[in-house]
Homo-oligomer: A and B are copies of this chain.
Amino acid sequence: MISDDLLKKIDEKQSPCVVGLDPDISKFPEQFLRRTSDFSEIGTAITAFNYGIIDAIHDLVPAVKPQIAFYEQYGAPGILAFENTIAYAKSKGLIVITDAKRNDIGNTSKTYANGHLGKVETSQGMQKSFDADFLTVNPYMGMDSLEPFVDVCKEYHKGLFVLVKTSNKGSGDFQDRLVELTDEEAIVLCDLGFQNSNTLNKKTELYNLVGMKVNQVAQTFIGERGYSSIGAVIGATYPEQAEILRKIMPNNMFLVPGYGAQGGGAKDVIPCFNEDGYGAGINSSRGVLYAHLKHNSPKKFQEYSRQAVLEMNLDIKSALKDANKYPSTWD
């Protein structure tokens, strides 16, 4: 189960941190910008920069999370840089989470899933394409839209993070709406300890409903360590909501964006962890990749990125200790 692999890496590195690989050439160290006149040259620059970052941080974190938008914008050369980045990160022993928030129905969902996680047919047999370990997906189209993704994960030893409660200010527009539940759904929430059975509440926020449904799908897919390969995206900026979702989704890993640049602090992400200190991967992108900018020191971008990861690891671990959630086997 890929969730077990991720937990193993988290223990190996004694870190629940994820480095987001979101290339923004306007923030690259100048030595990568000598040739950026077309998308092909930019793709090469992105690949080189990412390799440098991966070299600098691969021994400190369990996983990296490339955000595909920043590659896709450059067309085919951008996608080539994306493929190179995934392959290099995996060669360095990192788990790769593709942040793509893909979503569709039926055969189209299956096609996305096979491309990003599984294999694709050619006349020479099935071939791997992007071959990431995890993919983020969007649940708006309904649970049947997620099924083909889940099926491909089962076939190819892969995982998902489903958007549940996102980190942006406007995430409440739809996700926070109170929705009416069926009796059956209300009882499930009740059984999860979420509410009192004497005053069965037949309403909850949409994100809780989505979380509950994702947890149900995830039950068929739980690893040795008790976590499913089907996880959830929960923004660091909503700690109170995360606390409730942690109860509704006890077996799901949370991928947590919003730490650092988006305003989430270490204390804010603590509710995303279970009592055992596991269950969350905390992402930082800009704070790590472009740490050199604060020091005006492009040549030393690797040192400063490494330092930023070390600081983040300390920050989260110290908050875990304060919350009595520090994993028992860590130093």
Residues of A within 8 A of B (CB): 22, 25-26, 33, 35-39, 41-42, 67, 69-70, 72-80, 83, 101-106, 108-109, 111-112, 114-115, 120-124, 127, 129-130, 138-145, 163, 166-175, 177-180, 203, 206, 209-210, 213
Contact = CB atoms under 8 A, between A and B. Distances in A.
B83 A172 contact: no
Contacts of A104: 67, 69, 101
A112 B123 CA distance: 33
Contacts of A67: 104, 108
The residue among A79, A83, A127 with the most chain B CB atoms within 10 A of its own CB is A79
Contact of A129 (B26, B39, B41, B177): B39
B140 A174 contact: yes
A115 B83 contact: no
A145 B143 CA distance: 22
Nearest to A84: B76
Given A69-B111, A174-B210, A105 B179 contact: no
Nearest to A108: B69
A144 B262 CA distance: 14
Contacts of A130: 75
Contacts of A106: 168
Contacts of A209: 174, 177
A141 B166 contact: yes
Interface centre among A69, A102, A210 (most CB of B within 10 A): A69
B69 A76 contact: no
Contacts of A105: 166-168
12 contacts: A33-B123, A69-B102, A72-B112, A72-B115, A75-B129, A79-B79, A140-B175, A141-B171, A142-B168, A142-B175, A145-B170, A177-B177
A173 B36 contact: no
A100 B258 CA distance: 25
B112 A69 contact: yes
A39 B144 CA distance: 29
A37 B73 CA distance: 27
A168 B102 CA distance: 16
Contacts of A145: 166, 168, 170-171
B79 A76 contact: yes
Contacts of A168: 105-106, 141-142, 144-145
A142 B170 contact: yes
A130 B73 CA distance: 8
Contact of A123 (B36, B69, B76, B139): B36
A122 B38 contact: yes
Contacts of A39: 120, 122, 127, 129
A111 B22 CA distance: 11
A69 B115 contact: yes
A76 B74 contact: no
Given A73-B114, A111-B73, A36 B122 contact: yes
Given A139-B174, A141-B163, 10 more contacts: A67-B108, A70-B108, A75-B129, A76-B83, A103-B138, A140-B140, A141-B175, A142-B166, A177-B209, A206-B206
